[in-house]
Copies of this chain bind each other. A is one copy, B any other.
Amino acid sequence: MLSSYLDVPKLLTITVHNETFALFLCVSPVGRENSASFFVVHSHNPPAMEPRQKLCYLLLFTVSLIFLLLNASDRLPSLSSDLASPSRRFIRNQPSASTRHSDHSLDVPKHPLDPLTVQEINRVRTILLSHPTFGSVSTPYALHSIALHEPPKDFVKSWSKGQPFPRKASVVARVGGDSYVLTVDLDKGSTKVENFGHVSGYPTMTIEDMTTATVAPFADARFNLTITERGVNLVDVACLPLSLGWYGKREENRRLIKVQCYSSKDTVNFYMRPIEGLTVLVDMDTKEVIEITDKGRDIPIPKAADTDYRYSHMQANHRTVDLINPISIEQPNGPSFVIEDDHQVKWANWELHIKADARAGVIISRAQFKDPDSGETRDVMYKGYASELFVPYMDPTDAWYFKTYMDAGEYGFGLQAMPLDPLNDCPRNARFMDGVFAAGDGKPYVRSNMICIYESYGGDIGWRHSESPITGMPIREVRPKVTLVVRMAASVANYDYIVDWEFQADGLIRVKVGLSGILMIKGSPYTNLQDKPDDEDLYGTILAENVVGVIHDHFITFYLDMDVDGTENSFVKVNIQKQETSPGESPRKSYLKAVRTIAKNEKDAQVKLKLYEPAEFHVINPNKKTRVGNPVGYKVVAAGTAASLLDLDDPPQKRAAFTNNQMWVTPYNASEQWAAGLFVYQSQGEDTLAVWSERNRPIENKDIVMWYTLGFHHIPCQEDFPVMPTVSSSFDLKPVNFFERNPILGVPPNRDTELPVCKASASA
């Protein structure tokens, strides 16, 4: 049983499918504040195994151990209190992870856009804590974000290697119950309080907020009682911290969270075993349980059988299948890209700057392309990243209506991006990049292997032409398509998002989002669709006995600061319109015509996609033309997507009004980085992209930012149980008259003499 005021780490064990797990419960008290986190380590007493199984278990155990060693620092709450000033306390205790496993302790920034280093984060913290905002030594605080305050674009673009550059940090802090935005000048050692948080909403939760919330209910006897009465052992309960959106006065002036729980008995996949109808409203600052909604006691907890998806489990149950021979992308001469100065990647004609960010996940900066004709290095995109996500569930009932998550602004898309599996998340030829983040107490920690970078070749064709039997000319020219992929995968509790930035040698950038992981499940009284009364709405699909996958949407809104051959750009809609011919003009009655319209102001650039009113969407440089007079440009090319259909006045849609269109264009504004606003948690929607765009500012021949939202409707199906095959979609940023001609003409075909010589693995 878990309780709220443990003062030492506890070791608990739970048994799942005859396998015992050690569960480290780490809780330490600082005043009334607590931080807790579970670490489940698969360990003891596997059932009798065959030698092969034993080997695999050993491997699994080793991997688990290495994983823990490498990453525990990402999550382990500090049990010590080694703050800069021992007398200071922060709102909760925070992970004080170090960089001991991936040694970044001596990193120095080498580029003006490089993320804050371990040393810099430490210095930010020291400077901050001496600032008057942090008040007396007894004022509680938490640092919700410490990130580079980027120098102005002009500076960055004119900077060249070796020159000095300024270093500032942008900090979001909660001090004594108030939110602050502070800029710390690392060069001067000074701090500027820029903003006092006049809008609604709270900062992104810290990991400590989340983990603390999950144990808060156990302090309440009513909670423990209902759990026990439902026949669940408290030790089997796993809880999730669910951001609750904003639905009216109730969520104002208090940082609240809802906690819902699951039974982890007999499965690691507790998400499939909801304790339905039980919702605990918790004050994140005080840890108080404010309200327990205790409904749905008649809804059985779904069974654990068939929910475990781990390979070890499938092996133990003889349910593995080796259908596919080993297959690998091989580059015997090594990758073609280089990573210079930790963050600068050069590949084919591309140069870009890549960094991890606690909120956005991955930030691509300064994407430039070396023109193969002119030799000139040309600007394409100054900055691109996932600015916000919106994931509304489609169930208006009590335990579900509030599930309208914004995973970047509420949970931290980068904070949730875990280390990638070196051989499976990315192919063997990948290289990895770590993230350096700050915990809630301001101490830096390393998220190792958070980003991978690799060259992909799956057999696709870059361009081709064979002459046909009509001409009979013996021409067959084909070029393979090799791309550079920059990937991260965020696990926002159950769901996994795979975000790829894929750079093609021909100048195209494909932004791809894959959805996998585990569904958010609703417990149901029904074991078969036939048992459901016709007039009852399940709000989803029965996936297994008593398991309903609730319908939901996913929207990922990307910030795309395009700089096409320079800063001043325009947005052009090229409508593809039917044109009727005049009588007698042509045997044809109609044809399609491209009609170009330059967007003057923001409202001209609010785009809803329509299959029967098609258009191309160009970001052009009106000041630069090709040899034959076309403005140079890039176009945004949508692929499969989905639009939000919720009522515009529905509270979640107001907060996520940035999904009201698929595209928007705004003039660059340093304060407009996050589509749902800087303070998203419990926000009321006054500071979204939709609000900014309504100002209708001029955007012609300006430094403009394009916003594109990629959407998915998800009606779950049984194939999504107990873990979902990846579904993905994408959009492209594609050169359109950016080059004088096809930029990959000079790329050679594959030549057999240059391909690798391979043999089966040594162990085969």
Nearest B residue to A577, CB-CB: B645
Nearest B residue to A465, CB-CB: B517
- Whether A327 and B329, one on each chain, are in contact in the complex, defined by CB atoms closer than 8 angstroms, is yes
- Whether B640 and A326, one on each chain, are in contact in the complex, defined by CB atoms closer than 8 angstroms, is no
A647-B421 in contact given A416-B468, A713-B576, A758-B758 (Cβ < 8 Å): no
Stretch of A161-169, A179-187, A474-482, A678-686 contacting B (4+ beta carbons < 8 Å): A474-482
A619 to chain B, nearest CB (A): 14
Nearest B residue to A747, CB-CB: B321
Residues of B within 8 A of A364 (CB): none
- Whether B332 and A348, one on each chain, are in contact in the complex, defined by CB atoms closer than 8 angstroms, is no
Residues of B within 8 A of A642 (CB): 611, 614
A741-759 near B? 1/0 per residue, CB < 8 Å:
1111111111111111111
- Whether B588 and A741, one on each chain, are in contact in the complex, defined by CB atoms closer than 8 angstroms, is no
Stretch of A194-202, A224-232, A501-509, A688-696 contacting B (4+ beta carbons < 8 Å): A501-509
- Tell me the bound Cα distance from A398 to B750 in angstroms: 43
- Tell me the bound Cα distance from A464 to B551 in angstroms: 20
Residues of B within 8 A of A492 (CB): 468
- Which of B477, B485, B610, B746 interacts with A459 by CB under 8 Å? B485
A757 to chain B, nearest CB (A): 5
Which of A332, A402, A763 has the most C-beta atoms of chain B within 10 angstroms of its own C-beta?
A: A332
- Which of B333, B478, B586 interacts with A396 by CB under 8 Å? B586
A630-648 near B? 1/0 per residue, CB < 8 Å:
1000000111111101110
- Which of B67, B394, B594, B630 interacts with A551 by CB under 8 Å? B594
Residues of B within 8 A of A426 (CB): 459
* In the assembled complex, A489 has its CB within 8 A of some CB on chain B: yes
Nearest B residue to A36, CB-CB: B472
- Whether B462 and A454, one on each chain, are in contact in the complex, defined by CB atoms closer than 8 angstroms, is no
- Whether A629 and B529, one on each chain, are in contact in the complex, defined by CB atoms closer than 8 angstroms, is yes
- Whether A614 and B578, one on each chain, are in contact in the complex, defined by CB atoms closer than 8 angstroms, is no
- Whether A474 and B67, one on each chain, are in contact in the complex, defined by CB atoms closer than 8 angstroms, is yes
Residues of B within 8 A of A588 (CB): 247, 396, 401, 650-652
- Whether B469 and A75, one on each chain, are in contact in the complex, defined by CB atoms closer than 8 angstroms, is yes
- Tell me the bound Cα distance from A42 to B419 in angstroms: 53
A472-B38 in contact given A461-B425, A628-B529, A651-B588 (Cβ < 8 Å): yes
- Which of B322, B462, B662, B725 interacts with A726 by CB under 8 Å? B462
Residues of B within 8 A of A248 (CB): 587
- Whether A762 and B752, one on each chain, are in contact in the complex, defined by CB atoms closer than 8 angstroms, is no
A329-350 near B? 1/0 per residue, CB < 8 Å:
1111111100000000001110
A722 to chain B, nearest CB (A): 7
Which of A40, A334, A392, A460 has the most C-beta atoms of chain B within 10 angstroms of its own C-beta?
A: A460
Nearest B residue to A757, CB-CB: B759
* In the assembled complex, A233 has its CB within 8 A of some CB on chain B: no
- Whether A211 and B470, one on each chain, are in contact in the complex, defined by CB atoms closer than 8 angstroms, is yes
- Whether A647 and B473, one on each chain, are in contact in the complex, defined by CB atoms closer than 8 angstroms, is no
Residues of B within 8 A of A537 (CB): 593
* In the assembled complex, A670 has its CB within 8 A of some CB on chain B: no
In A644-660, the 8 Å CB interface with B consists of 645-647, 649-653
* In the assembled complex, A397 has its CB within 8 A of some CB on chain B: yes
In A445-499, the 8 Å CB interface with B consists of 454-482, 485, 489-494, 496, 498
Residues of B within 8 A of A506 (CB): 719, 725
- Whether A608 and B616, one on each chain, are in contact in the complex, defined by CB atoms closer than 8 angstroms, is no
Residues of B within 8 A of A20 (CB): none
Residues of B within 8 A of A614 (CB): 642-643, 645, 713
* In the assembled complex, A113 has its CB within 8 A of some CB on chain B: no
* In the assembled complex, A102 has its CB within 8 A of some CB on chain B: no
- Tell me the bound Cα distance from A638 to B640 in angstroms: 7
Which of A581, A718, A729, A742 has the most C-beta atoms of chain B within 10 angstroms of its own C-beta?
A: A718
- Whether B423 and A749, one on each chain, are in contact in the complex, defined by CB atoms closer than 8 angstroms, is yes
- Whether B325 and A336, one on each chain, are in contact in the complex, defined by CB atoms closer than 8 angstroms, is yes
- Tell me the bound Cα distance from A601 to B105 in angstroms: 69
- Whether B466 and A311, one on each chain, are in contact in the complex, defined by CB atoms closer than 8 angstroms, is no
A757-B761 in contact given A630-B529, A652-B588 (Cβ < 8 Å): yes
- Whether B320 and A592, one on each chain, are in contact in the complex, defined by CB atoms closer than 8 angstroms, is no
A516-B463 in contact given A211-B470, A506-B719, A745-B309 (Cβ < 8 Å): yes
In A390-433, the 8 Å CB interface with B consists of 392-398, 401-402, 415-416, 418-419, 421, 423-430
- Whether B472 and A75, one on each chain, are in contact in the complex, defined by CB atoms closer than 8 angstroms, is yes
* In the assembled complex, A207 has its CB within 8 A of some CB on chain B: yes
- Whether B628 and A749, one on each chain, are in contact in the complex, defined by CB atoms closer than 8 angstroms, is no
A581-B396 in contact given A324-B505, A757-B761 (Cβ < 8 Å): yes
- Which of B465, B471, B760 interacts with A238 by CB under 8 Å? B471
A640-B643 in contact given A323-B349, A326-B755, A537-B593 (Cβ < 8 Å): no
- Whether A611 and B641, one on each chain, are in contact in the complex, defined by CB atoms closer than 8 angstroms, is yes
* In the assembled complex, A64 has its CB within 8 A of some CB on chain B: yes
* In the assembled complex, A171 has its CB within 8 A of some CB on chain B: no
- Whether B755 and A428, one on each chain, are in contact in the complex, defined by CB atoms closer than 8 angstroms, is yes
A44-70 near B? 1/0 per residue, CB < 8 Å:
000000000000000000001001100
A21 to chain B, nearest CB (A): 9
* In the assembled complex, A277 has its CB within 8 A of some CB on chain B: no
- Tell me the bound Cα distance from A750 to B427 in angstroms: 9
- Whether A415 and B328, one on each chain, are in contact in the complex, defined by CB atoms closer than 8 angstroms, is no
- Whether A456 and B455, one on each chain, are in contact in the complex, defined by CB atoms closer than 8 angstroms, is no
Nearest B residue to A213, CB-CB: B470
A505-B425 in contact given A590-B647, A756-B328 (Cβ < 8 Å): no
Nearest B residue to A650, CB-CB: B589
- Whether B715 and A576, one on each chain, are in contact in the complex, defined by CB atoms closer than 8 angstroms, is yes
- Tell me the bound Cα distance from A544 to B628 in angstroms: 6
* In the assembled complex, A739 has its CB within 8 A of some CB on chain B: yes
Residues of B within 8 A of A489 (CB): 461, 464, 466
- Whether A759 and B332, one on each chain, are in contact in the complex, defined by CB atoms closer than 8 angstroms, is yes
A758-B330 in contact given A319-B745, A424-B749, A737-B541 (Cβ < 8 Å): yes
- Whether A39 and B482, one on each chain, are in contact in the complex, defined by CB atoms closer than 8 angstroms, is no
A565 to chain B, nearest CB (A): 14
- Tell me the bound Cα distance from A238 to B551 in angstroms: 58
- Tell me the bound Cα distance from A416 to B466 in angstroms: 10
Residues of B within 8 A of A496 (CB): 464-466
- Whether B589 and A425, one on each chain, are in contact in the complex, defined by CB atoms closer than 8 angstroms, is no
- Which of B214, B311, B653 interacts with A470 by CB under 8 Å? B214
* In the assembled complex, A735 has its CB within 8 A of some CB on chain B: yes
Residues of B within 8 A of A474 (CB): 39-42, 64, 67-68, 71
Q: List 23 A-B contacts (CB under 8 A).
A: A40-B471, A248-B587, A309-B477, A311-B477, A320-B746, A326-B331, A327-B329, A328-B331, A330-B330, A456-B459, A457-B458, A458-B458, A527-B628, A529-B625, A529-B629, A531-B629, A537-B593, A541-B737, A611-B642, A719-B738, A722-B741, A723-B742, A757-B758
